[in-house]
Amino acid sequence: MSKAPNFLFIITDQQRADWLGCAGHPVVKTPNIDAIAAQGVRFTDFNVAMPVCMPNRASLFTGRYPTVHGLRYNGCTLSHRANTFVDVLRAGGYATASIGKSHLQPFTDHLPFGRPKFESGPIEEAWKPDPVEYRMEEPARYDAEERAEFGDSYYGFEHVDMVTSHGDQAGGHYRQWFRENAPKYGHDWEWFHDPANELSHNYSVPQAYRTPIPEDLYPTNYIRDRAQDYLNQQAGADDPFFAFVSFPDPHHPFNPPGKYWDMYQPDQFDMDIRYEDHATPPPPLQFQAEMHRRGELPKIKQTAFMDSDQAIREAMALSAGMLTMVDDAIGSIIETLKANGQYENTVICFNSDHGDYLGDSNLLLKGVWHRDSITQVPFIWSDPQTREQGTCDALASTVDIAPTILERAGLRPYFGMQGHSILPAIENDTSVREELLIECNDSGPRMGFDRPGRARTLKTKDWRLSIYRDQDWGELYDLNDDPGQVKNLWDSDVHVNVKADLTQRLTHHLIAQMDESPQSNRLA
């Protein structure tokens, strides 16, 4: 092939690594994602840089850890000064498009919670603010009838079709389109968004909502259609393309539309690990259990909570419906790629920005307490040069995506990128790292922490060590003898040397979290 490869990067929001048919899930149906895996390599130990939406997405695009790229928790912004691998692709001749959820900037006007307003002097923050014209995800941008325009480039993307937030009331360009098209389905857009018109159901899990919005008006199918439009526009173009297609589902609220609501039943699902399976539940889990015993729910809907087995199964059934809808949309997108002749020159990637406890230890959603259910995500690489079925158990991280795509495109990364290309693992099943770092910075005090939680995890193929700021407890798990990670060895006398060695190795990773860019021009 004389033309450089195209890239179709498909990403979901808040999906566990094991929630795919090709990953062995016994219930959820994902035949189209499975078909991508059957023609590619599926990683079995792919981990996020941080199990939170915005920081990890920024790590994906920059190839740098949150500590370095500066978007350290939700509600902040990836600076307009930050280069991304998409910038490199565009400079290298690629057409670039972001379709769906970007979430590199806040898409709400909410203020920080759980801590007092900082009383500043004449200068408020350590960083100068980004220019107002660059804040493209804020809700006010999409209040007008005219389509919100993005200018020449948005983190390297020349074409942007924005979907913000989650569920059936997503915003961005989708919201503008929805307001215009809702009347074709019998009601104005406000009727569809009125909670009084929710369809009846008997689910009890919090955030279960049976939307009256038909499937054709739901964000998943809007993204499907815009992605198909873009791929058809690129058919026959001289330049290769990079298309980032990002679905907000299966992130809560649990509101699959139409046939997807009752496609699965709660009694089809079971939980692998319950609260009582932990030999010594760590303090965050004990805190959540006590809240559940008191019948309390968090004040913020994004906060993890514990619930009954029945409620967990209900959340699973609804999440499965949302995911299968995404899978159906992916099938249509791949068919378009094949129909217009681009499939044989397109690398297809499938990924998620972070996981969901989704029943792990009776929890739902995500939090600062690290578990594989929120830190491991699916990653599939299907390449026209090496389309074959297989799995790879090499350790890999979100920060590795940027250098991998750039190497495959034949372009050099910029200075300061921290990830490693995993093409050797894809092509030869060769490991490129022995361990990896996972960060986490909460934006408010949750899960029993008296101030915003901070966690750092070192993961190897054999061990997981997690340390939480200012806490006299931590976590150490033997991943071979205890894959469910329910026997915490932190206080084990037998494992003192293991903990010391891993702690030292983690310390070296933390020391390395310095921004090397720009390069010094000094000789000494």
- Residue 436 falls within a domain, yes or no? no
pLDDT average, residue stretch 171-190:
97
Q: Tens of pLDDT along 463-509?
A: 999 999 999 999 999 999 999 999 999 999 999 999 999 999 999 99
Q: What percent of the chain shows pLDDT beyond 70? A: 96
- What the block records as the tokens of 191 is 């009727």
pTM: 0.96
Residue 66 has pLDDT above 90, yes or no: yes
Q: Distance (Å, rounded) from C-alpha 92 to C-alpha 412?
A: 10
- Residue 394 falls within a domain, yes or no? yes
pLDDT band at 125 (very low <50, low <70, confident <90, very high): confident
Residue 115 has pLDDT above 60, yes or no: no
- What the block records as the tokens of 126 is 């350590």
Full domain range(s) for residue 138: 6-117+130-429
Mean pLDDT, the chain, rounded, equals: 93
For residue 118, the model assigns a pLDDT of 59
If one counts the domains in the chain, the total is 1
Q: Which residues contact 324 (CB under 8 A, 6 or more apart)?
A: 28, 29, 30, 260, 263, 264
What is the CATH number for 305?
Answer: 3.40.720.10
For residue 347, the model assigns a pLDDT of 98
Place of tokens 């350290």: 72
- Residue 310 falls within a domain, yes or no? yes
pLDDT band at 205 (very low <50, low <70, confident <90, very high): very high
- Residue 476 falls within a domain, yes or no? no
Length of the chain, in residues: 524
Q: Which residues contact 58 (CB under 8 A, 6 or more apart)?
A: 64, 66, 69, 70, 71, 78, 82, 104
The dihedral over CA atoms of 127, 131, 132, 134, expressed in degrees to the nearest 10, equals -110
Please choose, from the candidates 483, 447, 492, 498, the residue with its C-alpha nearest in 3D space to the C-alpha of residue 468: 447
Q: Tens of pLDDT along 369-421?
A: 999 999 999 999 999 998 777 999 999 999 999 999 999 999 999 999 999 99
For residue 1, the model assigns a pLDDT of 43
- Residue 336 falls within a domain, yes or no? yes
For residue 74, the model assigns a pLDDT of 81
Q: Which residues contact 79 (CB under 8 A, 6 or more apart)?
A: 70, 71, 127, 130
- Residue 491 falls within a domain, yes or no? no
For residue 387, the model assigns a pLDDT of 76
pLDDT average, residue stretch 237-250:
97
Q: Report yes or no: 65 and 439 within 8 Å, Cβ to Cβ.
A: yes
Residue 521 has pLDDT above 80, yes or no: no
Q: Distance (Å, rounded) from C-alpha 77 to C-alpha 58?
A: 9
Residue 255 has a CB neighbour count (10 Å cut-off) of 23
DSSP state of 157: B
For residue 523, the model assigns a pLDDT of 59
DSSP state of 444: S
- Residue 19 falls within a domain, yes or no? yes
Residue 288 has pLDDT above 50, yes or no: yes
pLDDT band at 349 (very low <50, low <70, confident <90, very high): very high
For residue 116, the model assigns a pLDDT of 54
Strands across the sheet with 6-12, in order?
171-172, 159-164, 95-100, 241-246, 6-12, 346-352, 379-382, 41-43, 390-392
Q: Tens of pLDDT along 21-42?
A: 999 999 999 999 999 999 999 9
- Residue 49 falls within a domain, yes or no? yes
Q: Tens of pLDDT along 291-347?
A: 999 999 998 899 999 999 999 999 999 999 999 999 999 999 999 999 999 999 999
pLDDT average, residue stretch 58-78:
91
Q: Which residues contact 43 (CB under 8 A, 6 or more apart)?
A: 378, 379, 380, 381, 391, 392, 393, 394, 396, 422, 425
Q: Report yes or no: 457 and 370 within 8 Å, Cβ to Cβ.
A: yes
Q: Where does 209-257 have alpha helices with state H?
A: 219-234
pLDDT average, residue stretch 162-189:
96
Q: Which of 22-36, 98-112, 435-449, 495-509 has the lowest mean pLDDT?
A: 98-112
